């Protein structure tokens, strides 16, 4: 992992006690998303490789007499500001765990699209845990924060760590992938309208019951071996997502987006998580910019952004 968490980051966060504290948190893509059977608890068993990319939300925490959240940016008009909001739930969860009052004034600046398959909501929960931990001086370890994170959502623990990591269980059990530093360049095609994650999993179950889903991807071994080779062509060939067929059935226009990226010269394109965002692997930043411009010109997405990964998880900046 190139920009993984190091123990001295913790000290840096403790120095934030008193506030205001600003935390930056990345989006994630899944380089491999292997979806196993539906479990009794309503989740699917996953074998995934998470990868944090340089599209960020920013959360600022200040001292206050109560807990309040304000927001600006990408899609925030659609988000509830009450106790159902993952940021508020994260602050309450940390306060309960640490035995402190959940008092803070939180302001979220969103860039990560809502319901995009980039874990935007989970990222904000991870940012809230890291920001409130610094504001309240509760001084929890990354592992403790990741434990609290697991109850908030399957992707939240990964966004505490960032980098590139294996996810198992329902995705909440995270272990870093140790690889020599390599930066990968991505084009991220943002759709006009989001897709619901539970609906994408339900659609995959339906396709599997009907016998029309593709073969499950299974183990992450091939992807991990490809990562070690540090060659974008090799990594491109190993990318895979069991939820892609479901996302394509729900949003058939994504087929044209994927095709346009590959026609523009990307090594490969896949749906990110439960979609509808599509990500494409490029040779370098200039290549990524060129592909992004072609995707926008082809009008197969709302916007196409350039990003690199891996990057660190939720951090005080």
Among residue numbers 38 through 57, which ones bind ligand C5P (CB under 6 A)? Answer: 42-44, 46
C-alpha distances out from residue 91 to 110, 114, 134, 149, 172, Å: 18, 20, 12, 11, 19
- Asked if 154 is part of the footprint of ligand C5P (rule: CB under 6 A), the reply reads yes
Which residue from 22, 170, 185, 315 is in contact with ligand C5P, where contact means CB under 6 A? 170
* Catalytic (active site) residue 28: yes
Catalytic residue, candidates 28, 133, 242, 245 = 28
C-alpha distances out from residue 234 to 163, 226, 238, 270, Å: 19, 6, 7, 15
Q: Which is nearer to ligand C5P, 70 or 219 (CB)?
A: 219
* Catalytic (active site) residue 242: no
Residue 71: both structure tokens together: 């927001």
* Contact assessment for residue 23 and residue 314, using Cβ atoms and an 8 Å cutoff: yes
Residue 47: both structure tokens together: 């074998």
User: Across the beta sheet with 278-282, what order do the strands follow?
Assistant: 268-271, 278-282, 184-190, 303-309
Q: Which is nearer to ligand C5P, 27 or 316 (CB)?
A: 27
Residue showing tokens 């939820």: 243
Residue span binding ligand C5P (CB under 6 A) among the ranges 15-23, 36-44, 240-248, 256-264? 36-44
Cβ 89 to ligand C5P shortest distance, Å: 11
Q: Which is nearer to ligand C5P, 148 or 235 (CB)?
A: 148
Among candidate residues 85, 82, 84, 103, the one with its CA nearest the CA of residue 94: 103
* Contact assessment for residue 241 and residue 210, using Cβ atoms and an 8 Å cutoff: no
- Asked if 201 is part of the footprint of ligand C5P (rule: CB under 6 A), the reply reads yes
Q: Which is nearer to ligand C5P, 136 or 201 (CB)?
A: 201
- Asked if 171 is part of the footprint of ligand C5P (rule: CB under 6 A), the reply reads yes
Catalytic residue, candidates 124, 133, 155, 287 = 155
Which residue from 7, 198, 211, 252 is in contact with ligand C5P, where contact means CB under 6 A? 198
Among residue numbers 107 through 146, which ones bind ligand C5P (CB under 6 A)? Answer: none
Helix, strand, coil % in the chain, rounded to nearest 5: 35, 30, 35
Among residue numbers 257 through 316, which ones bind ligand C5P (CB under 6 A)? Answer: none
What is the number of alpha carbons within 13 Å of residue 169 lying toward its C-beta? 13
Q: Which residues bind ligand C5P (CB under 6 A)?
A: 42-44, 46, 153-155, 170-171, 197-198, 201
Which residues are tagged catalytic?
28, 155
């Amino acid at each position: 992992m190139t920009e993984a968490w190091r123990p001295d980051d913790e000290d840096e966060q403790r120095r934030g006690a008193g506030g205001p504290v600003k935390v930056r948190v990345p989006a994630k893509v899944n380089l491999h998303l292997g979806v196993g059977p539906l479990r009794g608890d309503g989740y699917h068993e996953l074998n995934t490789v998470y990868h944090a990319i340089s599209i960020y939300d920013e959360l600022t925490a200040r001292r206050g007499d109560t807990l309040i959240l304000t927001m600006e940016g990408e899609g925030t008009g659609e988000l509830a500001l009450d106790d159902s909001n993952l940021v508020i739930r994260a602050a309450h969860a940390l306060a309960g765990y640490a035995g402190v009052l959940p008092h803070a004034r939180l302001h979220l600046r969103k860039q990560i699209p809502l319901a995009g398959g980039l874990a935007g909501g989970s990222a904000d929960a991870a940012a809230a845990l890291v920001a409130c931990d610094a504001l309240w001086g509760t001084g929890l370890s990354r592992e403790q924060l990741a434990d609290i994170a697991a109850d908030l959502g399957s992707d939240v623990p990964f966004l505490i760590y960032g980098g590139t990591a294996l996810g198992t269980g329902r995705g909440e059990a995270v272990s870093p992938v140790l690889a020599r530093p390599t930066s990968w360049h991505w084009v991220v095609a943002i759709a006009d309208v989001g897709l619901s994650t539970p609906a994408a999993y339900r659609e995959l179950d339906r396709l599997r019951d009907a016998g029309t889903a593709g073969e499950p991807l299974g183990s992450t071994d091939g992807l991990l071996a490809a990562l070690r080779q540090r060659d974008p062509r090799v990594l491109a060939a190993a990318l895979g997502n069991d939820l892609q067929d479901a996302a394509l059935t729900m949003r058939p226009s994504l087929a044209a987006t994927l095709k346009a990226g590959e026609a523009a010269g990307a090594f490969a394109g896949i749906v990110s998580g439960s979609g509808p965002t599509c990500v494409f692997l490029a040779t370098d930043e200039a290549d990524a910019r060129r592909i992004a411009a072609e995707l926008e010109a082809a009008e197969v997405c709302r916007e196409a952004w350039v990003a690199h990964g891996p990057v660190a998880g939720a951090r005080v900046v």
